Amino acid sequence: MIITRAPVRISFGGGGTDIPGFYEKHGGAVVNITINKYFYSFYNPRDDEKIQMISSDFQSLLSVDDFYSLKFGEGFDIPSAVIKHFRLYHGFDLFTASEIPPGSGLGSSGAVTVNIVLLCSKLKNESLNQRQIAEDAYFIQREILDLPIGKQDEYAAAYGGLNFIEFSEKNISVEPVKINPDVKKSLEKNLLLFFTKKTRQASTILKRQEESIKGNDNSIIEAMVEVKENAYRIKEALEEGNLKRFGSLLNEAWNSKKKMSSGITDEYLDRIYAIAMQNGALGGKIAGAGGGGYFMFYCEEDKQGNLRSTLEAENLGFLDFSFTDKGVTILNNGNSM
């Protein structure tokens, strides 16, 4: 058996500017951190050529006679695409499970793909570094499955930790944010995640953004430039240890992000955000592309009880978490990327 694990992430700023259509012309930048909520894969070889996959998240099963019988559109597109990409011709059983629901805004699709890329590269005796894992995962989703995604989720899951990632036509740089350990602990204590219990397809929102970029929609592009520039300011606030400024920058980021697509927010999400700001939050944002998933709020400890009770009264689910510096990992032989 081989067990692999990849973390999901919280995006602080810059989300959406990691789409090639934008960053190849304007440059992109994101700040994100991985948390201790994971996607797992459990692999067992078989004596025959049959491939069987079970998804705990979707409570579904796919069983085919051999590699050549794998098809898309049967609920297992990402693992099937990775298996095809690496040409795993032998039979095996694959069980997958996540600690957070799909469509949560925490980069789960990127974590899934990165996880299975590491597993398949291990099975093919290919030694891939973090960048290669991230790029393979992106290629599989973007080019093989034709998903309108950016690159930050794949890089976050592959590298792990608190990173500032810059995107350009010629290069992608991953720079760990230089943060004081005590500031990092305070940041961890002051960030709260609440599940809206609304899941969404990020691809729908991202596809609209791509169409707006291709159509040279100046209002959308200007909003994305604002979001990118805000990511630089968020990085500076973290390195300066100015968490109050960080909280207010989250609020600025959210206001800019809402201009990027009509699907990012709605009346319900705006109401929840307003309630949070009235009950102790200094700032916050939807954790991913928008439309649902998790709300992240920055709130100092003395006001967290009030904020949490207020949002739980609105039927939002609180998620306890901590930061992690580890990216995608093979668990049962001690190797980590």
Spans of all domains in the chain: 2-178+324-330, 181-319
Known catalytic residue: 136?
Answer: no
Place of tokens 């630089």: 232
Q: How big is the chain, counted in residues?
A: 337
Cβ–Cβ < 8 Å for 108, 55: no
CA 288 vs. chain centroid, Å, equals 7
CATH value of 2-178+324-330 in 2.40.50.1020, 3.40.50.300, 3.40.50.720, 3.30.230.10: 3.30.230.10
pLDDT exceeds cutoff 60 at 200: no
Q: What is the mean pLDDT of residues 232-240?
A: 98
Instruction: State the pLDDT at residue 335.
Output: 47
Overall CATH class of domain 181-319 = alpha beta
Interval 134-179: pLDDT, tens:
999 999 999 999 998 899 999 999 999 999 999 999 999 999 999 9
pLDDT band at 259 (very low <50, low <70, confident <90, very high): confident
Task: Please tell me which residue in 153, 182, 217, 270 is annotated as part of the active site.
Answer: 153
pLDDT digits (tens, 9 = 90+) for 51-84: 999 999 888 999 999 999 999 998 999 999 999 9
pTM over 0.75: yes
| Termini Cα distance of the chain | 19
The SS3 of residue 174 is: strand
pLDDT in tens, 7-52: 999 999 999 899 998 999 999 999 999 999 999 999 999 999 999 9
Query: Is the model's pLDDT at 291 over the cut of 80?
Result: no
